[in-house]
Structure 1
Amino acid sequence: MSRRRPRFGPKYRWVILGVGVAAQASFSAMFSGIPVTAITMRADYGLSTGELGLVLGCTALGVAASDIVWGLLTDRFGDRRILLTGLISTGALLVLMGLAVVPTGDGPPPTPLLAVGLLLAGVLGGSVNGSSGRAVMTWFREGQRGLAMSIRQTAIPAGGAVGVALMPWLAASHGFRAVYTVLAAFCLVTAVATWRWLHEPNDATPAGGGTAGGEAVSVGAAGEPVRERSPLRRWEVWRLALASALLSVPQMAILTFAVIFLHDAQHAGAFAGSLVVLVAQLGGAAARVWSGRYTDRHGNRRGYFRATGALSGVAIACAAVLTLAGAPVLLVASALAVGGVLANAWHGVAYTEIATMAGAGRAGAALGLEGTTLFTVGFVVPLVIPVLLDRSSWTVVWAVAAAAPLLGVPLAPGRAPRSR
């Protein structure tokens, strides 16, 4: 006799959202926290600035290489299995790195070993993006998804803020073994919560979509099943994903090199750079929640996406001008912080829109595509910045970072019918 499956009421969707937030935050603490240890990492591992950029970009490369695959696997096997697989394997890898990929009295480990470790952390941790997002999309209906997905996306800057606040201190005071061990604990504790509380909805297609016989279906206006076309074959979906990549350039530039910029060019301490990143993360978290609620009420996700992209470009352009003019560090840091908040604000809206465009049954693939383009930028930006510095200046770095979202705005898809 088979075990009867428990039933969950409508309010259980908030438990699912909580699990999704925790999963995303545990990965983001690693993704955002490790780059802010850049000064200590450069010294302890004996890296040049170019090697540092390569190492810091490896996690993003791992996510970019695996995100679409994880999304397709999530659509095929379900949120719970994929999320548990990713969290447990990422935690185990970080434990191993804490044992074998840390500087010792005999010197630092080989740079390729550190790069491979962070690359694998990205490959395994990338499972969190599509699986946690699809779980939220499955449990919440249109008119609720903008807020729900924005809250989930808030976990990225919020979890990142935890990493930004904690990891530099851990690295400087206790070494990188403590950094990797604490990050592993975050992943493994979240895996336990996922095992305990993440479940499928009672009905097969609670939010307007699901899978049938391995193919994605949605529910039409008259209740009939509708086969969904793969989002990977739709140019409109690609436009949003590519525009999102361009809009994320300032965010990644600030996350990976604001600390180095303020330390090397503005002669500020590591605390000043960490504070800029922290403000961008926490301010971005608050902006994501507000933007989700706002766009749910007004049905203007695409317009909001384009507006915040333009504003972030203007803010980073101000930072470039202030750097050129030799302005006080407070002004330059403030411009970067404002630009960082704006560069964080649109993420939940974009993830909601691309998942809605794909349909709930194909949301994993669409979210994987979005993650792939964003994390490709996360890999490329740390590699390009040292090259720009060798051939020009920090002013050019911030000017290029400002130009990217301004180019992304016209690429984004135009107005969509207002959702109800």
Structure 2
Amino acid sequence: MDAPPPNRWLMLALGTAAQTSAFVFVYGLPYLIPELRSAEHLTLAQAGAVVATPTAGLLLALYAWGAATDRWGERIVLTTGLGLGTVALAATPAAHGLALLSLLFALAGAAGASVSAASGRVVLGWFPPEQRGLAMGLRQTSTPLSMLVAAVTMPPLAQAYGLRGALAFAAGLCGLMAVLVALCVVDPPRPPKSPAGGERPRSPYREARLWRIHGASALMVWPQFTVGAFGLVYLTDVCGWSAVTAGQFMAVGQAFAAVCRVGAGQWSDRVGSRLRPMRTLAVAVGALCLLLAAFAHVRWVAVPVLIVLCGLSASTNGLSFTSVAELAGPHWAGRTLAVQNTGQNLTASLCPPVVGALIAAAGYGPAFAVAGACALTAIGTLPPRSGRAGGGTTLPRPSARDAATAGGAPSAGSPAPGGPTGR
């Protein structure tokens, strides 16, 4: 007799918690720069280079973890990655010197890439198409959650217990989630690897559609990081706010971003499309960025627009991830999510130095205008409304059978990620 399907909401909670735990270290490391400099006698430039190593490791490992997920499944990859991250972080108390610390941090970042590649598949695999947008929107709140946890825990831990104490906390989180994932995560069902004719699943990258979604989502990262990275600086430099007040304002914006991600996912489920809401949101983000550029020195206009942009500029993230996974199919979803993560992280890494240089040379208005241009360019980059279904274009209406299984796994008739969702 077949085992009963797991509770899909538990799978969502585990996937979100795994992503949050893995990235507390990545987002928390910048808060440890003072302790890092003091403990290792580093210059500010050296400390900055060390802080960048986890992201470098993550980018280099993303595709490999995605391929491993497609081959061996989500639970094995999540458990292995979180376990390796725990080992790398637990080894830092015995490590001294710039080279060895950088290596361990890069290995921890590379291990954390496993969660980016696999946790989304767990969520998408256990939810039917009409609930995936909401589920992925909830899962994507892991980014603001990890930033929140890092900001609340890492500075006081470093002050009380030093650099190694803060890193031990991050290692403990990863270790705890590795155990929970190993015990509780169940890989979603997949169709056979070869169709009836015996042919291997066709690569989704043979068509331009998937590349266009990758490109559009990378373009949408630019306004998100322009606002996120320089919103506080804008409020202090132009509006004359204190850093504390500006930080509290931006924290409200991050909370709004989490709400917008969930709302956008639920909207996409309701209208039966991922790309239609993404287009509408890109129009709104582009228009608001241009409005902010035009009124950058008019505070009563700029400040409300800035906080709205904090939310809306982050709202399309879950839509694009859900769309590429659905288009790719269950045997390619891990790799496509890895490529999606790689493109977004590369854009996020490039944006701050370029925007900082632009602000220094021309001011905030042109910087916000470039962000608006990126959002509007994303509209034309997205695939056209016509064409092959799937990939987030159209979704089936929920059947009675699907509704009856809403508390557990998708019914046998519910397509897996990337299945024929609109045919």
Q: Give the structure-1-normalised TM-score.
A: 0.79
The one-letter code matched in structure 2 to 1:251 is Q
Q: Which runs of 5+ in 1 are unaligned?
A: 102-108
Within the candidate set 3, 6, 11, 1:7 is matched to 3
Counterpart-to-counterpart distance in 2, 1:398 and 1:170: 36
Counterpart-to-counterpart distance in 2, 1:177 and 1:256: 28
CA deviations 1:48-100 (Å, max 9, x no partner) are: 5xx78766554433333222221111000110111111112222323334654
Q: Structure 1 residues 342, 188: CA separation in 2 closer, same or farther (over 3 Å shift)? A: same
The one-letter code matched in structure 2 to 1:140 is F
| 1:358 CA displacement | 0.8
CA deviations 1:18-51 (Å, max 9, x no partner) are: 211111111333344445x398589865425xx7
Higher RCO (C-alpha under 8 Å, 6+ residues apart): 1
The one-letter code matched in structure 2 to 1:71 is G
Counterpart-to-counterpart distance in 1, 2:146 and 2:203: 31
Q: Is the 8 A contact 2:32 2:158 kept in 1?
A: no
Counterpart-to-counterpart distance in 2, 1:385 and 1:7: 53
Q: Is the 8 A contact 1:246 1:405 kept in 2?
A: yes
Counterpart-to-counterpart distance in 2, 1:261 and 1:179: 31
Which residue of 2 is the match for residue 398 of structure 1? 368
1:336 matches 2:306: yes
Counterpart-to-counterpart distance in 1, 2:243 and 2:89: 25
1:125 matches 2:120: no
1:47 matches 2:44: yes
CA deviations 1:223-246 (Å, max 9, x no partner) are: x99853223333210110111011
1:29 matches 2:16: no
CA deviations 1:242-265 (Å, max 9, x no partner) are: 110110123233444545555566
CA deviations 1:365-407 (Å, max 9, x no partner) are: 1111111111111222233244435544444443333332222
Which residue of 1 is the match for residue 414 of structure 2? none
Q: Specify the SS of the correspondent of 2:91.
A: helix
Q: Is the 8 A contact 1:91 1:185 kept in 2?
A: yes
Which residue of 1 is the match for residue 61 of structure 2? 66
Which moved further from structure 2: 307-316 or 237-246? 307-316
Q: Specify the SS of the correspondent of 2:129.
A: coil
The one-letter code matched in structure 2 to 1:21 is T
Counterpart-to-counterpart distance in 2, 1:57 and 1:38: 12
The one-letter code matched in structure 2 to 1:94 is L
Within the candidate set 353, 362, 370, 2:323 is matched to 353
Q: Give the structure-2-normalised TM-score.
A: 0.79
Q: Structure 1 residues 289, 120: CA separation in 2 closer, same or farther (over 3 Å shift)? A: same
Q: Structure 1 residues 345, 172: CA separation in 2 closer, same or farther (over 3 Å shift)? A: farther
1:152 matches 2:124: no
Which moved further from structure 2: 13-22 or 179-188? 179-188
Q: Structure 1 residues 393, 40: CA separation in 2 closer, same or farther (over 3 Å shift)? A: farther
Counterpart-to-counterpart distance in 2, 1:259 and 1:176: 26
1:369 matches 2:339: yes
| 1:273 CA displacement | 4.5
Identity %: 30
Within the candidate set 230, 234, 256, 2:203 is matched to 230
Counterpart-to-counterpart distance in 2, 1:388 and 1:280: 23
Counterpart-to-counterpart distance in 1, 2:302 and 2:146: 25
1:188 matches 2:175: yes
Q: Specify the SS of the correspondent of 2:130.
A: coil
Counterpart-to-counterpart distance in 2, 1:163 and 1:194: 21
The one-letter code matched in structure 1 to 2:44 is L
CA RMSD of aligned residues (A): 3.4
1:20-419 aligned within 5 A = 20-35=15-30, 37=31, 46-47=43-44, 57-97=52-92, 100=95, 110=98, 117-170=104-157, 175-201=162-188, 204-205=189-190, 209=191, 211-212=192-193, 227-259=200-232, 262=235, 268-323=241-296, 325=297, 327=299, 334-415=304-385, 416=389, 418-419=394-395
Q: Which runs of 5+ in 2 are unaligned?
A: 397-423
Q: Is the 8 A contact 2:124 2:136 kept in 1?
A: yes
Counterpart-to-counterpart distance in 2, 1:358 and 1:177: 42
Counterpart-to-counterpart distance in 2, 1:120 and 1:27: 12
Q: Structure 1 residues 162, 336: CA separation in 2 closer, same or farther (over 3 Å shift)? A: farther
CA deviations 1:319-353 (Å, max 9, x no partner) are: 44454x2637xx65554332121122121211111
CA deviations 1:179-222 (Å, max 9, x no partner) are: 42322222221111101101234xx42xxx4x53xx6x6x9xxx
The one-letter code matched in structure 2 to 1:150 is G
The one-letter code matched in structure 1 to 2:79 is L
